[in-house]
Structure 1
């Protein structure tokens, strides 16, 4: 049996735009199912909002998102989560950083840190905080 953990991001009307941005950054396959597609329209103005969406990349990257209906209380909060993207190549992380940082607010410049040869943090236009770094082996002492 295999278990996969996938971040699932909640939005209020921005899920499609966020998923399209992440698809542009990471590539892979984009799936978007609207409330209309799923025959679950509660409010006509929300018919084209995302009921289920995901980006899945062959290298293992996955992210899911949907639009929280107006009938459900929602508060994204501050620093409610970080999405961590780890790679084993500085070139790969640098390339992803360049695409993800476009249109985002840089919270920590991409560069060496005490725990990684390359680390950076951005908050994208959708309020999601992304941490990118090069993975290193740790001694579990």
Structure 2
């Protein structure tokens, strides 16, 4: 199995603009799934915000981004990114989760989600927030 890490940038309403900008700088392909696309609209004013997005290039550049919903805390520059760990083997992602979770605060337990066979988020004892998931092909 292979595991990749990717910087996952956090915005509030400007993720699509940021992804478009990074794509114009680094090249590659942009994918942006809105809260509406995912059927996860909590606030109609945020329905077209990016729930999950990325720019990925053949040159190796890869960045992910999303718009933090209004009901969650967010201050520009204070929690600007997560580290995303993605793999294709649930057992290995689970093992990494359990080791990383030691002395961490679980934000969302590692469990099945509508968009992934396994997805979880935690903040480690050093203050770094990690998102671990098992990759699923996007069918949107």
TM-score (norm 1): 0.54
Q: CA deviation at 1:29?
A: 0.9
Does the alignment pair 1:66 with 2:66?
yes
Counterpart Cα distance in 1 of 2:16 and 2:80: 20
User: Deviations along 1:68-91, whole A, 9 cap, x unmatched?
Assistant: 00000112335967xxxxxxxxxx
- Ranges of 4+ aligned residues in structure 1 off by more than 4 Å: 78-81
1:121-132 equivalences under 5 Å are none
Task: List alignment gaps of at least 5 residues for structure 1.
Answer: 82-141
Look up the match of 2:94: none
1:107 counterpart residue number: none
Mapped pair 1:54 → 2:57: no
1:4-41 deviation line (CA, Å, top 9, x unaligned): 11100000111000000001111111000001000000
Q: Distance in 1 between matches of 2:6 and 2:12?
A: 20
**Which one has a larger percent strand, Structure 1 or Structure 2?**
2
Greater Cα radius of gyration, structure 1 or 2: 1
Mapping for residues 24-103 of structure 1, pairs under 5 Å:
24-77=24-77
Instruction: Tell me, yes or no, if the aligned pair for 2:10 and 2:80 is still in contact at 8 Å.
Output: no
8 A contact 2:15–2:65 mirrored in 1: yes
Q: TM-score, normalised by structure 2?
A: 0.54
Which residue does the alignment assign to 2:127? none
CA 52–78 in structure 1, closer or farther in 2 if over 3 Å, else same: closer
Aligned length: 81
- When the two chains are superposed, the root-mean-square deviation of aligned CA atoms in Å is 1.7
CA contact (8 A) 2:9 2:80 kept: no
